[in-house]
Each structure stands twice: as structure tokens, then as C-alpha cells.
Structure 1
Amino acid sequence: MPNSTPNPFNQQVIDEFRANGGRVGGYFEGARLLLLTTTGARTGTRHTTPVAYYPDGGDQVLVIASAGGAPQHPDWFHNLVADPRVTVENGVFTYEAEAVVLTGTKRDELFARAVEADPGWAEYQAKTERVIPVVALREIPRGGPPNFTASSPGEAVKVIHDAFRRELALIRKEFAASGTALGAQLRVNCLTLCTGLTLHHTGEDMALFPFAAERSPELAPALDRLRHEHERIAALLEELRRVLAAEDVDPAAVLPEVERLTRELEAHLTYEEEVLIPVLEGASAS
């Protein structure tokens, strides 16, 4: 199936996104960004567009078809209505997803959550008579290992770690702007991070660390340290979940937990990269 050529601005963002594991500068710097590839409703051509997103826990993320408050829906929205099977690149993984256009109270609830996180969405809605759509991108399960966007196992570890670093930086920034009330979307962002870290560390304990131990037995003390750090981080994540569960929690009560998690996780990720990346790169070269 042929691919279209994006406009120069989008192409620059796409190239930078793919070259840097999802990290971009300029207009989108510091934003949660994904690349959404849809199939043209009229042409059948594949179109890739950079789109801002929100975590929604589990296996779906949310995108908003605002088009900056323009009178018409963006082209990518028309495409996914015609063919809801899309491809998502998040800087770490590339996966197929089903695009579900949310309606009624569910759409209104999630749009209100987005507005609470960024009032700019309300400004876009006020500029247009159309109801700005909210779309859930739900990952389609597949067999086999995930489709990493990295070219080697060592690079994959670094790309995953950098994604967690970026998300923690975003969450800290959001806390700084949150005032005295913990918004629903910020709560979701924190809980989604907790789930992602738990799954990542579980996978390392079950697969990556045994592989490294078999290939380099001398790493046993370092791997024991990494497992112990996983337990420590799991305790910090559980404490963060506990604080977030309070109904009227003050962001000032959550931020210290996020800062503590950030400090310990940063140290852990750096040490893990020093220990494991040389082993993984050696395995891929042999």
C-alpha cells in the first residue's frame, strides 16, 4: 500500500521523532506525541501524522481531533472513521490499533478531563460549531515479541528508559502547574506510569536478567542489586498508588512521592544501562 508524503513541517517532526526514540524539539517539545498512520478514505494511501495524546491506562491512549478549532475535522480523523485499523508509533514500540470514536457521556467526560489538563482544548472547541471528537486508540494484541523501534537490544533498553525519564519529567511539570487540586488526567498519567514500570520490571526479572546471567555469570552481584532495586521501586510505586487513591488528595502531598521515585529510578536506570547494555550489544554482535 503506497505512503503519502507529509507536508514539510510534519515530515520534519516525523523524521526527528523516529531518529530520537520519540523525542522532538520545536513546537512539540515536551509534549506527549505519537505518530498515527491511517489509510486514506478516498485514495487508500497511507498517511502518517504527528498527534498529541493522553494516557488512559491499560492498552489504549486518547487523541483529540481538534484541528486547532478549524471548521472541519482533520483528514486523519476522516480516514480512521472509514478504516479504524491504524498504526501507532510511540517512540518505543510500533503497533496496530483499533480507533474507536467515543460518543455521548463518555466523550464528554474524557474531553472535560483533557480540558482540565489543558484549557487550550476548550478554546479550540469555542472556535468551532462541530463537536471535537475524542478517539481511543486500542492496541490490537499480537503474538510474539513486541515490535521495538530500536535497532539492537541495547538500544531498546536505552529507548525504553528514556521514555520513562521523559514521562516522569512531564508529570513533575504537570504537578508544578496543577495548583491545589489533583486533576483527573494527572492522576491517570501517574497510574499509567506505575503500571508501565511494573510491567517493565517484571519482564526484566523474568527474561532479561536470566539471559544476562547465563551469558555473563560474573554479573551475578550486579543483577542481584538490580533485582533489589526493583523491589524498592515497587514499594515506591505502591506508595504512590496509595496516595493517589485518596479522594481529595492535594498535589503537594503527591509530589514528594514522585520526586522520590524519580531520584531512585534515575539512579537505577543509569546503573542498569552501565551493566547490561555492553552485554546486550555483545550478544547482538556475536
Structure 2
Amino acid sequence: MSATDTPPPGMHDWQEQHLRRYLQSGGTEGHFFDFGPINAEGYQPICLIKHVGRKTGRTLILPLIYGMAKGEIVIVASKGGAPAHPAWYLNIAAASEVEVQVATQAFRATWREPSGAERQRIWDQMVAIYPPYAEYQESTDRLIPLVLMKPVSAIPVFKEADLDR
């Protein structure tokens, strides 16, 4: 990232730098990120999601902590416990598919939101992976969405050129 680049709205410099490293390496670097300097949570698994802005039509790629539940990739629309859903969640909610990359493998995926006991089980699993999610939920009145993505076909890994900035 050059000195004149600024991260997209809602993205911190460290997230932008991490995203670029993940993209430039084809996923050989960046699959795990050390949150130790940020919040003492240590290394977390990171996937990339590629989605289209529902208002702008721009292609966006975002690094997010993920877990796995019965073959589905799980991401949490926490936005740090903010009162509104993150833009990426609203963008994929407007689409039937999403693209996701885990390390060096990328997929086109369908997505869904779990409910009831399944949601609670997966929520507990994600809080075990990243405990701040529990604090985020306590700090907001909205139910933080869980998104489960089921890979349906392999695609090429994401490239820095895929970013529409």
C-alpha cells in the first residue's frame, strides 16, 4: 500500500495490509493473522470474501475470521458490535452466491443463515474461536448474523487486480 492509498471505508490500515499480503501471495501468506498486538486474541484463521457492492457495483474483497461447521465456512457479521449490519453482509444478502477464498483455494459458494439450535451451536463455536464476538453481541440490540457458505465450484484464487478501488 503506497502512502497515498487509504483503506476503504470501515477498513483499518492493518486490515488493508493483511488483505494485500493475502492477495499478493495467492493465499500462501495471510491465512492466519496474529491479533495479539490488536486485542491479545492471538492467531486466527482468515478467509477472504469477494462480493459486489449493492449500491456501487464495485467488486470488494474483505478478510474475515472464519470457522467450519459440517463442511460449510462460517463468518460472523459482527461489525464490532455496532448497531447496524456491516456493508459486506448487506451486499451478500442481496446476492444468491458469494466467492470465498481459504488459504490457496477459492470457491463460488451458496450461502445461508442458520436458525434455532443450529445457530446457537455455531454461535458458541465461533465465540470459542474468537471470544470478543460475545462482547460484540452484548453491546448491540441486533442479532449478529452468522453466514454459512457452502462451496459449489472451484475458481481461481483472488488477485489484487480483482479489487475495484
Which AA in structure 2 matches 1:18? L
In the alignment, is residue 11 of structure 1 matched against residue 16 of structure 2?
A: yes
Alpha-carbon separation, structure 1, partners of 2:130 and 2:52: 29
Residue of structure 2 in register with 1:69 after alignment: 81
Q: In the aligned structure 2, how far is the partner of 1:90 from the partner of 1:35?
A: 7
1:132 aligns with 2:137: no
Secondary structure of the corresponding residue to residue 110 of structure 1: helix
Give, in whole Å, the separation in 1 of the partners of 2:82 and 2:117. 23
SS of 1:71's partner is coil
Partner of 1:57: 70
Unmatched tracts of structure 1, length 5 or more:
151-286
**1:23 aligned onto 2:23:** no
Q: For residues 83-119 of structure 1, what are the alpha-carbon distances to aligned partners after superposition, in whole Å with 9 as ceiling and x for unaligned?
A: 1311111121121111212223321221122224443
Amino acid at match of 1:56: A
Aligned residue among 81, 85, 91 for 1:79: 91
Cα deviation, 1:59-81, whole Å, max 9, x if unaligned, reads: x2100111111111111100111
State the identity as a percent: 26
Instruction: Verify the 8 A CA contact 1:92 1:148 in the aligned structure 2.
Output: no
CA RMSD of aligned residues (A): 2.4
Higher strand share: 2
Measured in 2, the distance between the counterparts of 1:54 and 1:124 equals 17
Q: Deviations over 1:8-30 (max 9, x none)?
A: 62331111112332433554872
Q: Does 1:107 align with 2:119?
A: yes
Distance 1:101-1:64 versus aligned 2 partners, 3 A rule: same
The alpha-carbon deviation at position 40 of structure 1 amounts to 1.3
Cα offset, 1:46, TM superposition: 1.6
Q: 1:22·1:34 contact (CA, 8 Å) conserved in 2?
A: no
Structure 1 residue identity aligned to 2:140? T
Counterpart amino acid of residue 47 in structure 1: L
Q: Deviations over 1:168-193 (max 9, x none)?
A: xxxxxxxxxxxxxxxxxxxxxxxxxx
Q: Does 1 or 2 have the higher relative contact order (CA < 8 Å, sep 6+)?
A: 2
**1:231 corresponds to:** none
Contact 1:85–1:96 (8 Å) recurs in 2: yes
Distance 1:118 1:35, change over 3 A: closer
Q: 1:44 aligns to what?
A: 57
Residue of structure 1 equivalent to 2:109: 97
Which whole-Å CA distance do the structure 2 matches of 1:96 and 1:63 have between them? 15
In 2, the alpha carbon distance for the partners of 1:130 and 1:8 equals 23
In structure 1, how many angstroms separate the alpha carbons of the residues matched to 2:59 and 2:156?
21
Greater share of helix residues, 1 or 2?
A: 1
Aligned equivalents of 2:76 and 2:17: distance in 1? 22
> Following the alignment from structure 2 to structure 1, what is the Cα–Cα distance between the partners of residues 124 and 84?
21
Q: 2:101, 2:94 → 1: CA distance? A: 20
Matches for 1:158-237 after TM superposition, within 5 Å = none
Cα distance, 1:55 vs. partner? 1.6
Instruction: Give the TM-score normalised by the residue count of structure 1.
Output: 0.45
Give me the whole-angstrom Cα distance separating, in 2, the residues matched to 1:106 and 1:114.
12
2:44/2:129 contact within 8 Å kept: no
